[in-house]
Every structure is written in C-alpha cells, then in structure tokens.
Amino acid sequence: MPKVKVDGIEIEVENGISVLQACEIAGKEIPRFCYHERLSIAGNCRMCLVEMEKSPKPVASCAMPVSEGQVIYTNTEMVKKAREGVMEFLLINHPLDCPICDQGGECDLQDQSVKYGGGTSRYELNKRSVKEKYMGPLIKTQMNRCIHCTRCIRFAEEVAGVPELGSINRGENMEITTYLEKTLDSELSANVIDLCPVGALTSKPYAFEARPWELTKTETIDVMDAVGSNIRVDTKGWEVKRILPRVNEDINEEWISDKTRYACDGLLINRIDRPYIKKDGKLIECSWDEAFLKIKEEVSKTANVGGLVGGMVDLETIFALKDLLIKISGSASIDFRQKDFYIDPSHLSNNLFNTSIAGIDESDLILLVGANPRLEATIINSRIRKNFINKNTEIFTIGDPGDQTYKIISLGDNLKVLKDIENNNSIFSEKIKTSQKPIIVIGESVLNSKQGRFVLETSKSILKKNNSLSGLNILHQSASSVGAIMLQAYTNTNEVLKNEILYLIGADEINIDTKNKFIIYQGTHGSKNAKIADVILPGAAYTEKNGLYVNLEGRVQSAFKASFPPGNAKEDWKILRALSDVLNKPLKFNTIEQLRSKMFEFNPALQRIDQLPSIDVNTLEVENVEVIDSKVNYLPIDYYHSNEIAKSSKTMLECKIARQSLQKTGTEN
C-alpha cells in the first residue's frame, strides 16, 4: 500500500488507483471532464492536472497511477495556471449559449469555468461550427458545445455494448458521431445524456421544458421492470418533467434504461382522472359515491369476487385488495399472474434472483435459460456484460435470445439440454465443475405450466450438485411479482377469472371474457381492460403515491410521492379503504402506517427495507421431475410498450419506430 502526500496530508492508499482518486481520498477536489469512475481512462481533457514533486511538468492525475512517496500539490500557482490554461483552450470553440442551453445550471463546464477558469478569453478568431448529428429520438445534439471528452464513446463501447459512437477527423475538425448518423441501438442509450459534461448531448423529450432549479426532486424507485432501479423524479407542479438515475451500487450503479427514463411522459397522457360507470354500453363520468354504490349493488348479489393485480402495483394495494376480498367472500380469490406462469411459492428462494444483482459481478459462469435479459431487465444485462468485459466469463444460453451485447454460447434450444447437464452429458457440465460461482438465470418465457417445474427443479439440481444453490435466479419482468408472492396473492388465474365480479387493479395484459361479468377496473390509464369495465376507479401511478415494492432480488424498496394523482384520482389503497366502508366491511386501517404494520404482521420479511432477504437458499429442496422434451419459446417482448405508462408515452412510441426502422434497414449495409 503506497503512501502519498497530498497538499501535506499523508495518506495510505490502495495499490493501483490513480493520483486523482488519491487526491479525492485526501479530501481534495480535482476538476475533470473526461474522467469517470465507471469508464476507462482517456486522459484527454487535461483538466485534472496537478503538480507532482520531481516532475517538471504538471501531470494528468486521472491517468497517473499512485506510487510510493509521491508528493502531490493541488493548490499551487502552477496548478492554478494549468487549469486556467486548459479551461481557456476548452472554451475557445465552446459557444457562449448558456442562456439557451438545457445543460445550464447542471453543467460541469459552466461550474468549473466559474471555479477554475481565467474569466476572460484572448481568442479573437471565429469559433468553429459543427453540424448537429442525428442520434435517435432521445438524444438531442448540439455538437458546437462538444469538448471531446469521449465519455459517450466509452460508455457506448464499454457499458452499453454498442460500439457505434466514434470520433471522426482530427485536430480542430474532430467530431463525435454515430456511424453514418444512425440511432443508437441500445436500451441504455440515454445515459450518455447524464455523462455528457456539457450541453452537447441533451435530452430531446425534455428540451426547453424546465431549468434544474425550478424542479422539485423526489428520490424514489422505478417500476418499469422488476429491477427496481433507483431514480430521482423531477417534477414541476403536477407534471413529471424527467427521471434521472440515482446511484445505488447494489442495483443500477448509476445507469437506468431508456424506458425507465422516458416512459414518464406517459403519466400525462390518457389518464383516468375521474370515476366512470357503464350505462347502456357507454362509460359515463360519475362521482365516487355513484361508483361505490354501483359496486355495492353488484356485491350484494354475489360474493364471488376475484381480484387481479397488474405489474406496477405496490404492496399496500395488493394487501388491501386481498384483505377486502377476504372480507367480502371469506377467502381471497386473487392473483398477479396475467399469463401462464409457473411459480413454486413453497420456498421464497424459488422466486428470487438469489445471486443478487451485485453478485453477478463475482460470478464466473452464467447460463441463461429462456431469458432475454437485454429486454427483460436491461440493468441486469449491463451487469452481465460488465462481468463479461472484466472477467471474460463464458455465458451459455438455452434458446436464442438474440444479441445481448456480449458473446453467448448456445447449447441448443431444447430444454432437455438441462437434463443432459445434470447427467454430465454437456460441455456445460464440465464447466460448472470447475466453476466457483455459477449462476443460472431463468426467464419467464420458460416458466409456464408445461415447462416451468422441470426447468426450476433441474436447475436447482444442477446447482445443488455443485453446492452453489445461491446461483438460482428467476428473472421476473414485473415490479409487483415478487411482492405479490410474498403477500401470497396467488391462487390460480383461471379460477379467479371464473368469478362473477372481477376487480382489476392495473391488470392490463390479460384478455377477459366479459360475458355475464361485472368488471371493476382500478388503474391509471385508459387501457384495453379499462374499456371493458363496468366501473372505473381512477388510481395513482407509481410517482403519485408512497408505496413499497419488492424487486426481483427480494429487496423491499420505498417509492415516494413526487406528484399527485390527476383530477379526482386517489391513491389505490385509499380507494379500497373507502370502498370497504361503503360495502359495510371496513378494513382495519386508516393510515398507511397502520396498513403497513398490518402487512408487516402478515409477512415480517417485508420490514427489511433496502436490504436483501435473509433467507437461506441452501434449504431449498430439490425434487426429481420427468424430462421435458420441448423447445424454448420466447414470449414476445414489446420493449418500448411493455406497460400502460409506456404505451401512452409519445417518446416510447418514437423509440419503437426508430428501432423498427433500424432493424428494417439493418446496420450491416
């Protein structure tokens, strides 16, 4: 461990880190543009120059490794002059258009030129002008502002795995572009907007919407997929203006998928903002009382009420609905599965991503079974890619998920390969024997009533032989799935559908036969199932209520209210609570705290907010099952339209069209 001295402060630091990191450990701020913790080192902006004893010239601290006995100064006259010089050069060709630049107020160049710049320019010639580049519907470019830090290039190549960005020409003519100006073919593409230290790459949908200081910032979590990415929701009044990632090393590091970031404009469109009742086949606006009385009238006829919850429903709502159904009919006929979906709830680990997301980094062998992580859980795919890049891990697949941004080795697409692996008849069997931390990722596509049990049990058996049951991973797609399992909100979807009254909460995917049925739809958007409903109750979206969600690792996370529901819409559990009064079957909680304490009584594990579940995966039992000889059939994934919010979003539609045209022309020629 080398000892270095930074501005007189002696510190001992880890081997192999850079001088810049050492300075930060010593509490000194080093300005930088090109350096980024999660990207490779480029060393081309020169803003991080520091003075080092015995070095005649200032050194670029981001690219200089620490070594024993270095004496570094970050506040000398030489450093000050060097920074001023670099700043002056960077600003030579940078337009002075801060007043009309969307980055204004959160711009590294702006901040650092105030702090470290010389204050004046001596440049008298014309500034260069660069043509704007097309990079798809999400990224707006003003390349005049680019300072060529190459963060975006390195991100696309290293993290997103789509090496389509590059710098062309040289010297004063250097430009950043995609090859022949194509849309970036990545689900993580919009992260380059956050990475860009200047206003060269800004958000197209958010262009000229607001200034950062006008926005109210709420730290919450995302529900577009089951990953539970940590986000910050920026609102102005009622409107959600934008969504940004929040650093959480255990989940999303500091990336979020394009859907997480940009589906938010769907929160403004196609919303249900008041209750409706169907009269003569037409949905007519009504008051809450009318809607509740109509439900009361129907419930008095029959106690057969079934509940279905959708993919973005919080724990409180699921719990309240289940409670209400028990009050009405004695038992809860409720389910969260809107498709043929096999679960084995006997042990919670059967339903979790047991390795944990951060645990992927340590794995040394990965098998995907009917999983397409790129589209099903983009952030998890970026972790797998990170592992692949860092450790060159071999990644096998059963079934062909298409391009995953890393090299995958196919073991065929028949599920009986799993049995071969178990019986040591596959190349994978050899690999797993020498592997320390193998993981198997099972996608929802194979978790159906026909194949699910076989896949699950055989995978467990393979892992158990290798004494690594913690490598069992179920790749859920919906934010509500694991939570619903933990609240035991499952019976049988087909049985639920037999009830005369159906209570749908955000259940938009399932096709329902409306014959002789009374359908209550509680949700946020005018979806397919809202249209067939007899009563519509307006609910709140994930940014409009406080709620708990469980991600696919089994980690309970809190979502916070950033905005409020539109019009007469209410938070979902409050609707259920109010309805229970009308039905004379009052639920025994009046506040969200009371609701939560009831819920925690039901399942104490839900109290462990932000922590991984404390269950021992090694207590999983493995059953012997018959071999199934059938192929992996991937369920179609409409990535940009996977839920009602995304379907209402204009931006997501543009992304979908851009992606389709990209596939049509093909990138190859």
Partner 1 sequence: MSGKHVAKNQPKTFTFSSENIKKMKEILSKYPETRKKSAVMPLLYLAQKQNEGWIPLVAIQYIADQLDVPYIKVYEVATFYTMYNLAPVGKYFVQVCTTTPCAIRGSGKIIEMCKKHISEKEGHLSSDKKSSWIEVECLGACVNAPMIQINDDYYEDLDADSAEKIFKSFKDDNLPKFGSQKGRKGSEPIKQRLTLLKN
- The footprint of partner 1 (CB under 8 A) covers 163-170, 173, 178-180, 667-669
Q: Select 79 or 184, whichever has its Cβ closest to partner 1.
A: 184
Q: Select 150 or 527, whichever has its Cβ closest to partner 1.
A: 150
**In 444-526, which ranges are E strands?**
472-475, 501-505, 518-523
Taking the C-alpha atoms of residue 290 and residue 292, their distance in angstroms, rounded to an integer, is: 5
For residue 163, the minimal CB distance to partner 1 (Å) is 4
Q: Select 160 or 328, whichever has its Cβ closest to partner 1.
A: 160
For residue 427, the minimal CB distance to partner 1 (Å) is 22
Q: Select 146 or 612, whichever has its Cβ closest to partner 1.
A: 146
For residue 373, the minimal CB distance to partner 1 (Å) is 22
Taking the C-alpha atoms of residue 513 and residue 217, their distance in angstroms, rounded to an integer, is: 43
Alpha-carbon torsion, ordered 360, 552, 486, 481, to 10 deg: -150
Question: Which residues 6+ apart lie within 8 Å of 165 measured at CB?
Answer: 152, 153, 156, 157, 176, 177, 178, 184, 192
For residue 287, the minimal CB distance to partner 1 (Å) is 59
Residue with tokens 């509490």, as numbered in its chain: 27
Contact 485, 322 (CB under 8 A): no
Say if strands 518-523 and 535-538 run parallel, antiparallel, or are unpaired: parallel
For residue 177, the minimal CB distance to partner 1 (Å) is 8
Residue 155 tokens read as: 């991100």
For residue 564, the minimal CB distance to partner 1 (Å) is 46
For residue 182, the minimal CB distance to partner 1 (Å) is 10
For residue 393, the minimal CB distance to partner 1 (Å) is 17
Instruction: Give 160's Cβ-side CA count (13 Å radius).
Output: 25
Distance of CA 70 to the CA centre of its chain: 42
Q: Select 11 or 174, whichever has its Cβ closest to partner 1.
A: 174
Q: Select 174 or 497, whichever has its Cβ closest to partner 1.
A: 174
Q: Select 168 or 303, whichever has its Cβ closest to partner 1.
A: 168
Taking the C-alpha atoms of residue 148 and residue 150, their distance in angstroms, rounded to an integer, is: 5
**Of 351, 429, 411, 379, whose CA–CA distance to 188 is shortest?**
379
The count of other CB atoms within 10 Å of the CB of residue 238 is: 12
**Of 251, 265, 189, whose CA–CA distance to 221 is shortest?**
251
Q: Select 139 or 165, whichever has its Cβ closest to partner 1.
A: 165
The count of other CB atoms within 10 Å of the CB of residue 666 is: 7
For residue 305, the minimal CB distance to partner 1 (Å) is 56
- Rounded to 5°, the CA angle 204-244-592 comes to 130
**Of 386, 349, 351, 360, whose CA–CA distance to 477 is shortest?**
351
Q: Select 163 or 237, whichever has its Cβ closest to partner 1.
A: 163
**Of 583, 505, 492, whose CA–CA distance to 547 is shortest?**
505
3-state secondary structure 292-350: HHHHHHHHHHCCCEEEEECCCCCHHHHHHHHHHHHHHHCCCEEECCCCCCCCCCCCHHH
For residue 170, the minimal CB distance to partner 1 (Å) is 5
Q: Select 173 or 624, whichever has its Cβ closest to partner 1.
A: 173
For residue 168, the minimal CB distance to partner 1 (Å) is 4
Q: Select 153 or 532, whichever has its Cβ closest to partner 1.
A: 153
Residue 496 tokens read as: 């639920």
Taking the C-alpha atoms of residue 540 and residue 567, their distance in angstroms, rounded to an integer, is: 11
Taking the C-alpha atoms of residue 476 and residue 360, their distance in angstroms, rounded to an integer, is: 16
For residue 457, the minimal CB distance to partner 1 (Å) is 40
Q: Select 100 or 168, whichever has its Cβ closest to partner 1.
A: 168
